[in-house]
Structure 1
C-alpha cells in the first residue's frame, strides 16, 4: 500500500460486504468498471444495500475525525496572534543583507570578465605563434616537395613518392594551421604539388595494375590511403582500365554476336574480374586484415558502377518486358550473374555495402517486376476463365476428365514453373494460386446450380450428358483435392528463406483451400444421385394406378410385374453399366446404394398408401355386403369363387416388389444394404398373409 493510502486510510468495512474498501482508494476509480467487476458477485439490489451500509460507516468516521481534531482547529487561530508584527521586524535586516550580497556578486562578475579577457588575449597570441611556425614549416615543405617531384628515373620515382606523400601530409597539416597568414602564392604552390603528386602516383598505380605488379600496387595503395584519396584510385581504375574493357563487351552488338546470349556476355564480364582484378582484390579484400590494404572497394566503386551504367544505358533490350518469356530468362540470367559477382566479395561487410549501394538498388528497380506479374496474371487467368466457360468439354491425354479441371491444375503448376516463377514475386504467385483454387470451387457451385435449374427441363439425351459430366466432375474434384498437398510442398520448396511461422501460415491457407474444394464433393454427389433417381421417382407414380387395373375389370390374376418396374430400374441399371469401368467400385456401389435407398423409401410409401386404401375399400365393401344380407335375409354365399380384385392388387404389388428387389440385387447390392427394401418386401408379404388368413 502506498504512503498516501497509509496516511488517509479508509475505515474498516463489515466483512460480509461484496466488495473491498481498497477499491475506493485506487488512483483511478471508475464506477462502470466497479459495477462490471461485481456484477457476478452480487445482484444490483445487494450491491446497493452494501454500498448504503458502507456509506453510513464513512459518515460516522468523518464525524469522529472532526470531533478528534476540533481542539487543534480552535488553537490554530490563537497561535497566529502577533505573527504580522514579527514579520515586520525582520524585513529591514533582510533588505540590508540582500544589498550587500548584490554588491559582492557584481564585484565577482567584473573580476571574472577581466580574467576571461586576459586568457583570450593569451590564447590568440599562442595561436598566432603556432601559425607563424606552421607558415615557416609550410614554406620549407613546399621547397622540399618541388625538389622531390622533379622528373627522375622511373625506378627511383615510387620511393620518392612515398617521401613526397609524407611531406605533403605534413604540408597539409601546417597549411591548415596558417589561417590568413598563408599567401595566395603559397596556396597555389601547394595545389600544384598535390596535382603533381597525384599525377605521378596515378601513373605508377596504372602501370602496376596493367603489369599486375602486386608489391608496386600495394605501395601505391598505401600512399593513396595516407593522402586520404582512396576515391581517386577507384575512379582511376574505373576510367582507365574497366571502362575501355567494358566498352566492347557490354553493348547490343556484343550481345547479338555472343553465341551464349546474355549468359555468355555476363561470363565475359565476370572473366574480366578474374583476369584483370584478381591481384588487386587480393590486396584490398583479403579476409586477413593484417595482410589486406583496407579502405578500398574496387569491385563496387570501380567495376560494378561502370558495368551497371553500361547495362542500363547500352543494353536496354535486356529489361524489356514485351515478351515475358524473354524477360524471365534475362532476369534469371542476371540474377545468376549477380550471385556469381557477390561470390567475389571476401567479407560480409563488403557484400552488405555492395547491396546497399545506390546503383545496385537502381539496377534491381530497373527490372520492372510490377509489370511482369500482371502480364503473367492476365495470361494465366485468361486461360482459366476460357476453360471454365467451356466447362463440359472433355480433356484429351490428361489425368483429369474435364478440360476445365485440366487447365485449372496446369495453371496452378504454371505459376511455379521454371520459366514463369520468380522468387521476388513468391507472395503474389501464392495468392494467384489460391485465387485459381477458389475460382475453380466457385465454378463448381455455379455449374451445379445451373444444372439443378435446367435438370427438370432436359430431355433424355441432355440428362445423360449431364450425368456423365457430373461423374467426370466428381472424379476431377477428388483428384484435384488429393494432389493439392504435393503441389503445396513443391511450391513451398521454391520460396525464398522465410520463417517457420510464415511457412505455417502458408500451409494453413492451402489447407483451407483444400477443405473448400473437398466441401464441393458432397454437392456433386447429391446432383449425381438426383440425376440417377429423378426418372425412377417419377415412374413410381404409376403404383397408385394399380388398383384401377383390377377393380371391376374382371381381369385374370397377374403373373408378371408391371412395366413401371422396368422403367424404375432402367436409369440406375444403365448408370451401373456405363460407369462400371470408369468409377471406382466402392464409389459406384455407394452411389447405387444411396439411389436405391431413396427410390425404395418412396416406393415403400407408395405401396403402403395403396395397401391401406385397398384395405379400407375392402372393409367398406364387406360391411356394406353384410348389411345387405341382413336386410334381405339371404344366406352368405360360399367362398368357391376365385380371387377378388383386392387379392389381385396385392398379388400384383408383390410381383412388382419382388422384381424390383431382383433388379437391385443384380448390381451386386444386398437387400439388407438398401434402406427400407427389407421392410418393403415384408409389407407386401404381410398384406398377402393377412388376406389369406381372412379367407
Structure 2
C-alpha cells in the first residue's frame, strides 16, 4: 500500500515539482488558502527548530559557520528556483481565485433565478386564490338570492371563501413590495369587506329571526344553528369581535338603549325604585332572549357561548348605562345612591344566575375579568359615599346635626341608657350598620368607624365623669355636698357608670346581630368581639374611677362621725355603773347608709346586668373603707384606754404588778395596747373593760355587715385588728 508523503517530505525531496505539488494538494480538497496556511505553519516550525538547534549547540554552529565555504554560491544557485516556485504558486492562486469568483457569480445568478421563479409562483397562486375567493363570494351571492332554502349553501360558500383568506394574506405578506402584490392587497381588502358585509347581513337577519321567535315564545333553534355556523365563519377570519358587535347592535342595544334613554337627568339623584324597575326590565329581557340564546349557542359552540354573557350582553348593558346615566354613580343624594347601588348589586347576582341556569359550562371568572364589568363596579364612588355618611354620623354624635336629636333620644330611651353621650354612641354605631346606610364593600371602614365611635364615647364619658367628680369635690369636699346637689351628681355619676357597661353589652349584641344578619362573615365574630372589649377597656377604667369616688364619698359620709361615736361610748360607761354591753351600738348600721343609698339608686337604673360589676365594686369599696375606718378608730380608742390605765397605775403607785405586757394590739398611731384584757365575752370587771367590750361588739358588727354584702369584704387593717383582739387572753 502506498503511503502518502508529508508536506515536509514532498518539499525537501529531489526533483520537487511545484505544479505537481499544488495539483496534488488541490486534488485532496485543499484550497489555496489552506495550502498557504499549511506552508506558513511549516515555515514557522522549521525556523523554531533551527533556533532551538543553534541555541543548543551554539559552539558547533559557530565552528560550522567559519568552516563553511562557498555557501553564498549555493544560495545564489537555489534562489532562482525558489523565486520561480513562488511565482508559479502565485499564478495558480490567481487562476483559482478567478475560477471561484466565476462559480460564485453563477451560483448567485441561479439563486436569483430560483427566487424569481418562486415569486412568480406566489403571484400565480395569489391570483388564482383571489379569483377563487371572488368566485366563492359570487356563488354565495347567488345562493343568497335563492331564498331561505339556500341559507346552508350560502354559509358553505362563505365558509369556503373564509378558509382561503388566511392563505391569501400569507401570500400577500410573503410577496413583498411588488406592485402586483400591492394591487392584490387592495383587491383582497375589497373581497374581505364583501365577506364581512355578507356575514354581518346574514348574522343580523338570523338574530332578528331569533328575537322575533323569542318574543312569540318559540324556541328559534333553526336561527340559533345558523348563527352558530356564521360564528364559525367569523372565527375562520378572526372576526369574533365584529360578530360580537353585530350581536350587541342587533340584539341588546335596541332594548337596553331605549330603557336607559327613558330615564331623565343622566342619573343624578335617580329614584332607586325607577332604577330597579329599569334593571328588572333588562333582566327580563336577558331571561327571555339572552339566556336562551347563549344556551342554544352552547349546544353548537361551547367555547364561544361562555363569552357571550360577558362580551355581548354585559358589555352592552354596562356601556349603555355608563354613557347614558353617568351621574348615577355620584353620591350627591346618599340615600338614593345607596338604593341604586344595592339595586345594581342585586341585578349583577340575577344576571349571572340567569346564564348559570342556561349554560352548563359557564365560567364566572369570564364575567369577573371582563373589563366593562370591572369598570362598572369601579365607577360607583363608594369612598365619597362613605365620607358623606361618616360626616352625617359624626355630626349627629357631636350634636352638630339638630335633626338627629329626637332619633338619638329615641334610641337611648328604647335601649335603657341614661346619658346623652351613650345614646349618641349607640345611635352612631347602629346608624352606620343600618340597612339603609351600610354597603358590603364598606365593611372594613364601617367597623373602623364603629371603634372610633367607642373611643369618642370613652373620651366624652371620661370628661363628664371628671367634671362631676371635680364639682362634687368643690361643692362638698369629697361627697358632703348639699343634699339636693349631691343626690343629683350621684345620680349622674351612676348613670355614666351604668351606661359604660350597658353600652358594652349593647355593642356586643350589635356585633352578634351584624354577624347573624350576614353583614359580616360569621367567622369574624370572635375577633370583632375581642376588638369591642379592647375598645371599652379604657371606658371601664373611667367607670372604675367613678365607682371608687362614689365609694369614697359613701365611706366619708357614713364614717364622718365615727370618732365622736366612739368617744361617746367611753363617756357612757365611765363612772356610770351601767351594765356591761351585750349588743353593738346603733350607729354601726348607719355606717353603711351610703352604700344602701347607692344600691337603691342602682336598682332604679334600667339594666340590672349592666349594674352587676359596678355594684360589686361599690360594695367592696364601701365595706373595705368602712372596715378600715372602724379599725383605725377602734385601735386609737383601745390605745387611749390602755395609756390611761397605765398613767393611773403610775399615779396611784398601786400595789401589785402593772398590766401584763404579753400579746399586743397595733394602733393607728403606732402605740401598743397592752394585752391581758378579755374582750371576748367574760364579764367586764371595770369601766374600761366595758368600753373595750362595746368597741369589740361594734367592730364585730361592722365585720358582720360587711361580710353579708354580696361580693364585698373587709380591709386588711380590719383583719389585723380582729386577729390581734382574738389573740388576747389566749
Normalised by the size of structure 1, how large is the TM-score?
0.67
SS in structure 1 opposite 2:263? helix
The secondary structure found in structure 2 opposite 1:250 is helix
Shift of 1:223: 1.9
- Report the Cα offset of residue 244 of structure 1: 2.0
CA distance 1:183–1:531, shift in 2 (3 Å): same
CA contact (8 A) 1:438 1:513 kept: yes
Q: Counterparts of 1:485-504 in structure 2 under 5 Å? A: 485-492=508-515
Contact 1:137–1:174 (CA under 8 A) maintained in structure 2: no
Q: 1:366 to 1:476 in 2, by over 3 A?
A: same
Structure 1 partner of 2:455: 438
Q: Distance in 2 between matches of 1:487 and 1:258?
A: 30
How far residue 386 of structure 1 moved from its aligned partner, in angstroms, is 4.2
- Contact between 1:283 and 1:293, CA under 8 Å: does it hold in 2? no
Distance 1:545 1:383, change over 3 A: farther
Structure 1 vs Structure 2 CA RMSD: 5.1
Post-superposition Cα deviations, 1:424-471, rounded to whole Å, max 9, x if no partner, equal: 122212222222333334444444444443332232333323333333
Q: Equivalent residue for 1:137?
A: 128
Q: 1:237 to 1:499 in 2, by over 3 A?
A: same
TM-superposed CA distance for 1:371, in Å, is 0.9
CA change 1:492–1:593 in 2 (3 A) is closer
Question: 2: distance between equivalents of 1:453 and 1:87?
Answer: 119
Picking from 622, 626, 638, the partner of 1:611 is 638
DSSP 3-state at the match of 1:596: helix
Any residues of structure 2 matched to 1:385-534 within 5 Å, and which?
Answer: 385-386=398-399, 395-458=412-475, 459-460=481-482, 461-482=484-505, 484-492=507-515, 508-513=530-535, 522-534=544-556
Q: How many residues align?
A: 568
Tell me: CA distance 1:181–1:569, structure 2 relative to 1, closer, same or farther (3 Å): closer
Change (3 A) 1:349 1:577: closer
Note if contact 2:630-2:718 (Cα within 8 Å) is conserved in structure 1.
Answer: no
Deviations 1:373-399 (A, max 9, x none): 122222333434449xx9999942323
Offset at 1:367? 0.5
Greater gyration radius:
2
* Paired position in structure 1 for 2:708: 669
* Superposition TM-score, scaled by structure 2 size: 0.64
Please say which of residues 313-322 and 142-151 is displaced more in the overlay: 142-151
Q: Report the Cα distance in structure 1 between the residues aligned to 2:256 and 2:709, rounded to whole angstroms.
A: 84
How big is the shift at 1:128?
Answer: 0.9
Q: Distance in 2 between matches of 1:90 and 1:114?
A: 50
Matched, 1:598 2:625: yes
C-alpha spacing 1:601/1:422, structure 2 compared with 1 (3 Å): same
Match of 1:272 in 2: 285
Distance in 2 (alpha carbons) for counterparts of 1:244 and 1:648: 113
Say whether residues 1:373 and 2:373 are aligned partners. no
DSSP-derived class of the 1:456 partner: helix
Would the alpha carbon gap of residues 534 and 378 (structure 1) be closer, same or farther in structure 2, given more than 3 Å must change?
farther
Shift of 1:173: 2.0
Q: Whole-Å Cα distance in 2 between the matches of residues 90 and 507 of structure 1?
A: 102
1:318–1:327 Cα contact (<8 Å) kept: yes
Equivalences for residues 543-558 of structure 1 within 5 A: none
Q: Work out the CA distance in 1 between the residues paired with 2:459 and 2:272.
A: 49
Gaps of 5+ in 2: 1-47, 56-92, 211-222, 476-480, 655-685
User: Distance in 2 between the 1:546 and 1:214 partners?
Assistant: 111
Change (3 A) 1:398 1:450: same
Inter-CA distance 426–396: structure 2 relative to 1 (3 Å threshold): closer
Conservation of the 8 A alpha-carbon contact between 2:497 and 2:547:
yes
Q: Taking structure 1 as reference, are residues 297 and 120 closer, same or farther at Cα in structure 2, changes over 3 Å only?
A: farther
Q: Which digits, 9 at most, give the CA deviation of each residue in 1:16-53, with x for residues without a partner?
A: xxxxxxxxxxxxxxxxxxxxxxxxxxxxxxxxxxxxxx
One of 339, 351, 357 as aligned partner of 1:341:
351
Contact 2:272 2:340 in 1 (8 A): no
In the TM superposition, residue 549 of structure 1 has moved relative to its aligned partner by 7.2
1:539 to 2:561 alignment = yes
Residue of structure 1 in register with 2:73 after alignment = none
- SS, match of residue 457 in structure 2: helix
User: Corresponding residue for 1:326?
Assistant: 336
Q: Is the 8 A contact 2:458 2:536 kept in 1?
A: no
Distance change (3 Å), C-alpha of 1:483 and 1:125: same
Contact 1:402 1:472 in 2 (8 A): yes
- CA 550–621 in structure 1, closer or farther in 2 if over 3 Å, else same: farther
Pairing 1:244-393 to 2, within 5 Å after superposition? 244-251=254-261, 253=263, 260-284=273-297, 286=298, 291-292=301-302, 294=304, 297-343=307-353, 344=355, 346=359, 350-386=363-399
Question: Aligned partners of 1:429 and 1:243: how far apart in 2?
Answer: 38
Which sits farther off after the overlay, 264-273 or 678-687? 678-687
The Cα of 1:372 is off from its aligned counterpart by 1.4
SS state of the match for residue 329, structure 1? helix
Distance of aligned partners of 1:206 and 1:664 in 2 relative to their CA distance in 1, 3 Å threshold: same
The CA deviation at 1:335 is 0.7
Residue number in structure 1 paired with 2:67: none
- Deviation per residue, 1:223-280 (Å, 9 max, x gap): 2222321122211222233222222211453799999422211110112222233443
SS in 2 for 1:173: helix
Identify the residue that residue 160 of structure 2 maps to in structure 1: 166
Q: Which shows bigger deviation, 118-127 or 234-243? A: 118-127
Match in the other structure for 2:253: 243
**Does the aligned pair in 1 maintain the 2:458–2:538 contact within 8 Å?**
yes
Cα contact 2:451–2:535 (8 A) shared by 1? yes
Checking the alignment, whether the CA contact within 8 Å between 1:393 and 1:404 is kept in structure 2 is no
The 3 A distance-change label for structure 1 pair 114 and 521 is farther
Residue 503 of structure 1, CA deviation: 7.6
In 2 relative to 1, CA 624–355 (structure 1 residues): closer, same or farther, beyond 3 Å?
same
